[in-house]
Structure 1
Amino acid sequence: MGAAISTVCYNLKLRHPTIDMPIIDYDLAVLIQPMLMLGISIGVAFNVIFADWMITVLLIILFIATSTRAFFSGVEAWKNETTVKKEAANQLEANGNGTEEADNELHHGSHSNDTENVARGLAIPEVGVLENVRWKELGLLVFVWMAFVAVQIIKNYTATCSAIYWVVSLLQIPVSLGVSGFESICLYKGWRKIASKGDGGSNLKVHKLIIYCLLGVLAGIVGGLLGIGGGAIMGPLFLELGVPPQVASATSTFAMIFSSSMSVVEYYLLKRFPVPYALLLVVIAIVAAYVGQQVVMKEIIKMGRASMIIFILAFIIFVSAIVLGGVGISNMIKKIERHEYMGIENFCKY
């Protein structure tokens, strides 16, 4: 969560490099985030029920599959960028402008294709935070977050599995469906559009909107189950949906603030949240995120390849699979040696 907060604070003042919009796609966030939050609540419940070894196996499989898919997406993006670079250089050389001017055109030229623009140059304009934030959409997201947090707090003061407990829990469904449904209608009617996708983000078909929402729920379930906030899943998912890498990274991180903080609240209420250890990790994550934004992004801009964002994402997810998987397997071995129970838990005892 610390990394998400630090990164979002940095991204709030950034504009899209080729379209007149913030780097964060707020309409995409409003569509996905309520369903992501609903999935988080379901996933946390599954985390209580499932044995640790089951969660470890799921985490390893998911992270390896996600990182592999992201890597191949990065390779494809790299090839496209290379083709664009060669075409631009050849065209300018044919006009007698020379290689140096080709590089200059590559970084400052303008094309209609947004993906090509991102590949050419990653210099992102900055504006004031207040004028860059879309307050109505942000207000909707905060409303959903507050409603879900209120539900979790009320549940904490009711008997688990009682009638009131289930009634309160089900209140999350109309909240998430209401906000995502409203956004879906706006996108379907053309009143709003997922601007980061260009022409492909307007007048979306019903089946696509349903798929987007279901994928949001699925990402939330996995994020809540594995305790990863959903960001590692939403980033590759947005890339698969055709969102440019910079926008995919910024929007998934923005949504992760709400989902990860929601997970923190739920695990804290379940007494599964070591506060001192978590605070240490928050500080480390904030520092790491700052370094990533200030150092790594400058290198990416210098190279002129947005695909590097995808490769970095794939690498982080793969390393997470190795590290978290190794820790999980180590804990499994210790439990086996101690002959501890490793089956399905009773949810109602919590």
Structure 2
Amino acid sequence: MDLGTVLACILSFLAAAFSSAGGVGGGSLYVPILNIVAGLSLKTATAFSTFMVTGGTLSNVLYTLIVLRGHEKGGHQPLIDYDIAVVSQPCLLLGVSVGVICNVMFPEWLITALFAVFLASATFKTYGTGMKRWRAETAAARRMLEGGSSLGDGAGEALLGQKDGDGHRRQCVDLMVLVTIWLCFFVIHLFIGGEGAKGVFDIEPCGVTYWLITIAQIPVAVAFTACIVHQKRKSHAQNSQEFDQAISVKSKLESLPVYVFPVAALLTGVMSGLFGIGGGLLLNPVLLQIGVPPKTASSTTMFMVLFCASMSMVQFIILGVDGIVTALVYAITCFVASIVGLVVIQGAIRKSGRVSLIVFMVAAILALSVVVIACSGAVRVWVQYTSGQASTQRNAVIMRY
């Protein structure tokens, strides 16, 4: 193991800790680290980053389900909102596929510019959201000192009101639905390839069969989303009829149309595929803007990113990515670092009583990603321009898809 790999592991550990604390995947930081510090090619760095994101999000989700659940809402209210996840996941995966096609069509300089502008805008908006929540927490703390009221933990309620007895059963059903969605899209991507890898069958890129399989993702996503939304509305109506108190405990989310989340997930997926990064960096700020509490937004985002990243990781394993042992070392590093980041941020939240720290962490990661990706992208575009490789590489990418 050379010095560059050791340094890349250290930087990846720090990146994973910060990313996990903020509730984002961290792919936007891993790829430049592997490419610049470890000296890996961009294609290999992208493949390795899927292992790292999967490792980090897996430990984050396990820690949230096993450890944090016992500290929130008396131990019965999970931080992960399964309603948001199951409603949004099909459109998120569909959007990623659409974004990848746009990524192939657009020149790299335009993608880099759009990405920098979008992340800069998201940084300012997320920072503004954090400041609003900070002021609200300050006012709540003042009222607590004056009148003895408690400071909210920022976890929020689930998207749909539910009985405690039904909660576990519904979560298991939602999880099975998510696994089914994962398998459907995984089979499609296994046929046509993607993320820099070829499919398992010799399907001609951009041929009739290729596009038929690609377009098949649209009815699959629409069918899943329609069925899930219908079932959630039906379930919510039954809860409202059976329990009068369900109306009084509704969160702000329940006043929003259910289609808000699929549409937001679709747009987030398109941008993720277009910019070539995981959805966490984009999905978390979107959920915060919609009004999802920071803890719920962070945990739910990591849960959804786990499904996206694991799909790419399994595909790379099946198709035989080079250096899988090294990739697993990076993944284990991120697995451990993710827990460290969660422990630190949760300790800071408990001591300060300010959940807005998560929002500021997201804003900081966004700002850092703007600098890292914009600079590395600009250097890459300049090198391609001066060497005359831009058009050649673009044509090669188009042929791959």
The TM-score, its normalising length taken from structure 2, stands at 0.70
Q: Is the 8 A contact 1:56 1:328 kept in 2?
A: yes
**Equivalent position amino acid for 1:151 in 2:** I
Specify the code of the residue in structure 1 equivalent to 2:59.
S
SS of equivalent residue, structure 2 residue 354? coil
SS where residue 292 of structure 1 aligns? helix
**1:81–1:119 Cα contact (<8 Å) kept:** no
C-alpha displacement of 1:51: 2.7
Structure 1 match to 2:4? none
For 2:258, what is the secondary structure of its paired residue? Answer: helix
TM superposition shift of 1:167: 1.7
- Bigger shift: 292-301 or 142-151? 292-301
Which residue of the partner structure matches residue 83 of structure 1?
139
SS across alignment from 2:292: coil
Match of 2:250 in 1: 198
CA distance in 2, matches of 1:258, 1:133: 19
Distance 1:6 1:280 in 2: 15
Equivalent position of 1:137 in the other structure = 174
- Residue in 2 aligned with 1:118? 153
Instruction: After TM superposition, give the deviation of residue 164 of structure 1 in Å.
Output: 1.6
1:52–1:342: 8 Å Cα contact kept in structure 2? no
SS across alignment from 2:250: helix
How many angstroms apart in 2 are the aligned matches of 1:43 and 1:269?
Answer: 24
Letter in 2 for 1:40: V
Q: Give the match for residue 126 of structure 1.
A: none
- 2:217 paired with 1:175: no
- 1:48 is matched with which residue? 104
* Cα distance change, pair 349–342 in 1 and its aligned pair in 2 (3 A): closer
CA deviations on 1:111-167 (whole Å, 9 max, x unpaired) are xxxxx51169xxxxxxxxx96992110111111111111011122221112222122
**How many angstroms apart in 2 are the aligned matches of 1:49 and 1:133?**
41
Instruction: Report how many residues are paired.
Output: 316
- The 1:223/1:10 distance shift into structure 2, 3 A limit, reads same
Is the alpha carbon distance of 1:147 and 1:133 closer, same or farther for their aligned partners in structure 2, counting shifts above 3 Å?
same
Give the distance between the partners of 2:314 and 2:274, measured in 1 at CA: 14
Query: For 1:173 and 1:119, how far apart are their aligned partners in 2?
Result: 35
The aligned amino acid for 2:187 is A
- Residue in structure 2 matching 1:257, options 286, 294, 306: 306
In structure 2, the CA distance between the partners of 1:264 and 1:329, relative to structure 1 (3 Å rule), is farther
**Number of the residue aligned with 1:7:** 60
Deviations 1:177-222 (CA, angstroms, capped at 9, x unpaired): 12221222233342489x9x934344x66xx333321211110111
1:305 to 340, 354, 361: 354
Secondary structure at the aligned position of 2:113 is classed as helix
Unmatched 5+ stretches in structure 2: 1-52, 156-166, 193-198, 240-245
Task: State the distance in 1 between where 2:62 and 2:135 align.
Answer: 32
**1:272–1:336 CA distance, 2 compared to 1 (3 A):** farther
Measure the CA separation in 2 of the matches of 1:300 and 1:200.
23
Which residue matches 1:150?
187
> Matched residue of 1:39: which SS?
helix
Taking a change above 3 Å as real, the CA distance of residues 119 and 255 of structure 1, as seen in their structure-2 partners, is closer
Q: Which runs of 5+ in 1 are unaligned?
A: 93-105, 110-115, 121-129
Deviates more, 1:274-283 or 1:149-158: 274-283
Query: Residue type matched to 2:288 in 1?
Result: L
Between stretches 283-292 and 144-153, larger displacement belongs to 283-292
What is the percentage of aligned positions where both structures have the same residue? 29
2-structure distance, mates of 1:211, 1:259:
20
Counterpart of 2:72? 17
Matches of 1:234 and 1:55, distance apart in 2: 18
Question: Does residue 241 of the first structure (1) align with residue 286 of the second (2)?
Answer: no
The Cα RMSD (Å) is 3.2
SS of 2:153 mapped into structure 1: helix
Indicate if the aligned counterparts of 2:56 and 2:335 stay in contact, CA closer than 8 A.
Answer: yes
Question: In terms of mean alpha carbon deviation, does 214-223 or 130-139 score higher?
Answer: 130-139
Shift of 1:255: 0.3
Residue 33 (structure 1) aligns with: 89
Q: TM-score, normalised by structure 1?
A: 0.80
The answer as to whether partners of 1:267 and 1:273 remain within 8 angstroms in 2 is: no
Residues 134 and 356, structure 2, Cα contact 8 Å, conserved in 1: yes
Does structure 2 retain, via aligned residues, the 8 Å contact 1:38–1:173?
yes
Tell me the distance in 2 between the aligned counterparts of 1:334 and 1:348.
Answer: 20
Greater shift, 138-147 or 19-28, is seen at: 19-28
Q: Which residue of 1 aligns with 2:6?
A: none
For 1:349, the equivalent position in structure 2 comes to 399
How far apart are residue 267 of structure 1 and its match? 7.7
Q: Distance in 2 between matches of 1:274 and 1:220?
A: 28
Q: Which amino acid aligns with 2:281?
A: A
The secondary structure found in structure 2 opposite 1:118 is coil
